Amino acid sequence: MGLAPEGGEGGGGLTGYIVHHLTHNTITVAGDAGFHLDSWAIALGLGLLACLWLWLYARKATSGVPGKGQAFVELVVEFVDSQVKDTFHGDRRFIAPLALTIFVWVVFMNAMDLLPLDLPSATIAAVAGEQAAHHTFLRVVPTADVNTTFALSLTVFLLIIFYSIKVKGGWGFTKELFTAPFHAHGVLGKIVLAVPNLFLNLVEYLSKPVSLGMRLFGNMYAGELVFMLIAGLFMSWVTFLPGVLFQSVWAIFHILIILLQAFIFMVLTVVYLSMAHEHH
């Protein structure tokens, strides 16, 4: 959520304000490659915080009447487990915890979009001064960074390949790439259809991480950008109250997007892993 526009590296006014808030805190690694330090650090911190939150309630869970916190955690766990149970019909001992981890972690990362947009700058200004705040970049929504969402989706992709080979075997997985979805009975027919089958299977496999990563990134990036535009359009004291109203309305609506995108990412992960267990 935005507070008040400020000048940025791209100039003053709304343009400079948006450019400043869309710039990552980047360090250079491996030659000229840029590494988004803010996305990595905040995502790591939120992941550890999510694990700590779940662990603390699991540690003090009781069989009696649960408190509000324990009841909420149990509700989340049961909700995720029911989704996995409806979608995945194999051994859920790894899949269910994976789905819970993805859902809670992505919700935590998405929820950073509800923080006041200028809070990082205000904090840096209070600690190090206005000049430091002006030249220090910090984006606090890791899922609004395509690198974060693709890192998540590529991890899911590797799990898909792993389970495909584990269930079907190395030869079975390779054979399926060339013999499905189009089946042929004769040797000549199998040879003719091998290339189209391989092409379609590669497109199917590669489209899964791309769709996972881009869907989450696109929605969170757009939501972050809307907060910036609202803050920039209502930048004067005269329009401050309408700006607060619009920001609040968008924030309430954005809560649905935050939860929905985490749910979609989790469900699609389970669906893709379920498909990896199936034979064509």
The residue among 162, 167, 158 whose CA lies nearest residue 277 is 167
- Is 5 buried (19+), middle (13-18) or exposed (0-12) by CB count in 10 A? buried
pLDDT of residue 9: 45
| 51-61 pLDDT, tens digit each | 999 999 988 88
What is the token pair recorded at 121? 């700058």
Locate the domains of the chain by residue range. Answer: 13-276
**Amino acid making up residue 6:** E
pLDDT of residue 2: 46
By DSSP bridging, strand 33-36 and strand 26-29 are antiparallel
pLDDT of residue 246: 84
pLDDT of residue 203: 95
| 223 C-beta neighbours (distance < 10 Å), count | 22
Listed as ranges, residues in the chain with pLDDT below 50 are 2-10
pLDDT of residue 63: 76
Q: What Å distances lie between residue 65 and 70, 71, 170, CA to CA? A: 9, 9, 50
Supply the residues annotated as catalytic: 211, 215, 219
pLDDT of residue 84: 95
Q: Could you give phi then psi for residue 118, rounded to 5 degrees?
A: -95, 10
For the residues of 71-115, what is the DSSP string, one character each?
HHHHHHHHHHHHHHHHH--S--TTHHHHHHHHHHHHHHHHHGGGS
pLDDT of residue 6: 43
pLDDT of residue 91: 86
